[in-house]
Amino acid sequence: MSYQIALNFEDGVTRFIEATGHETVADAAYRQGINIPLDCRDGACGTCKCKAESGRYDLGDNFIEDALSEDEIAEGYVLTCQMRAESDCVIRIPASSQLCKTEQASFEAAISDVRQLSASTIALSIKGESLSRLAFLPGQYVNLKVPGSEQSRAYSFSSLQKDGEVSFLIRNVPGGLMSSFLTNLAKAGDSMTLAGPLGSFYLRPIQRPLLLLAGGTGLAPFTAMLE
């Protein structure tokens, strides 16, 4: 059986890998082209120490306390050269994606719907076969490239991915590059490029009641979380 592991790097890039219960997270990442920093692979150096923010896992038993202490274990730290997933997990990697030989993924899609909800808010949905492979954590964002330019704008997902479609709530900024495109030029079928996912503002395991406060297009990440 395989599990989905979200690797959240310190530069905000998140990459998703598949790991079986028979391989360590470090081995699974390496198999999929991501080099989590490590030296010994024997649970002795602590170089691969990361924090597991959610999920069930087997810590392994072939490590020394100098590499991973009881206090660190209680706080959710793991050694990825020893850890084996027992469910989907989110792991925070204390290194940049570039250092780990990976980068944000890029996807091509097309506008499926664009509507002006009010003078200040635009609803945008994009759909594409490639987006069926897009995984992200509720609350994260992507960089959307403005068609006809080399510039991008960052927008949080306002929905989960379903059947290759994702949605955004976008603030309408008078004279803004993306706002001008969406209000004056955009139509269903227009191509768009997005890169990501990015960001560390995402929903962690809920252990107590949550109070979510937002206004305007700031609602976007919360609507994705509520789904």
Identity (one letter) of the amino acid at 64?
Answer: I
* CATH number for the domain that contains residue 36: 3.10.20.30
Q: What's the token pair of residue 175?
A: 């004279």
pLDDT in tens, 94-138: 999 888 888 778 999 999 999 999 999 999 999 999 998 888 888
Same domain, 32 and 88: yes
- Choose among 122, 109, 135, 103: nearest CA to 4: 135
pLDDT (0 to 100) of residue 56: 95
Residue 79 and residue 37 in one domain: yes
Percent pLDDT > 70 in the chain is 100
If one counts the domains in the chain, the total is: 2
> What range does the domain containing 60 cover?
2-93
Q: What is the pLDDT of residues 164-201, one digit of tens each?
A: 999 999 999 999 999 999 999 999 999 999 988 888 78
**Stated pTM of the model:** 0.73
CATH code assigned at 170: 2.40.30.10
Q: Which of 6-15, 155-164, 190-199, 200-209 has the lowest mean pLDDT?
A: 200-209
pLDDT score, position 199: 84
84 and 22 housed in the same domain: yes
In the sheet with 105-118, reading across from the earlier edge strand, the strands are 152-156, 141-145, 191-198, 105-118, 121-127, 165-171
